[in-house]
Each structure stands twice: as C-alpha cells, then as structure tokens.
Amino acid sequence: MTARERILQALENRDMESDSIDKIIALAYYIGKEQGVKEVCDSAKAIFTEQQKRAAGSRYHNFAMAIQGNINYIYHPDYAGDMTAEFGSDRTVI
C-alpha cells in the first residue's frame, strides 16, 4: 500500500468521535488543506488589493478596474478552518 492509498483509506474510514490512527491521518490531511487554502486565498487577496491600488492611480482607472474585475478575494469553504476548530484540540493517546 502506498502512502497516498493509506491516506485515502483513512479518509474513507475516519470516525471523528473515536481516538484512532485514521482520525489522526484524516485530521492532518484536513488541517494541511485548510492551511494551504488560507495561504493561497490571503496571497490572492494581497494581489487583488495591489491591482486595485494601481488601477485607481491610473489615468484610465475605470477601464483598469473593468479589466481587473473588481475582485476582492477568492472564496473557498475550507478557509474558515472548521475541521481544525472542531477537532484540532481533541486529546489523543496515540
């Protein structure tokens, strides 16, 4: 079994109410996913903010904003960190 297969198996078999290795593997997967999403979304927001500042300083600011699309952020449901908030502080003996 490969590491990828083991992780996928843990995600399928996870029982978040019991203390098990599958829960730990699944939680590590979701915490990593949430952190990655947060980094990407925060980086994109910083880029969009800079684009808007440059567009506002342009002679043709309305045209520049139309090209940029007036996007302020990227929405992703994992940004909130629900899995980390819900299970991240669970005690484990594993």
**21/62 Cα distance (integer angstroms):** 55
Predicted local distance difference test score (pLDDT) of residue 34: 98
pTM: 0.81
Residue 77, domain member (yes or no): yes
Smallest Cα–Cα separation from 68: which of 87, 49, 85?
49
Structural domain span for residue 77: 3-87
Residue 60, domain member (yes or no): yes
Number of domains in the chain: 1
Q: What is the mean pLDDT of the chain?
A: 94
- For 32-57, how does the pLDDT look when each residue is reduced to its tens digit (9 = 90+)? 999 999 999 999 999 999 999 999 99
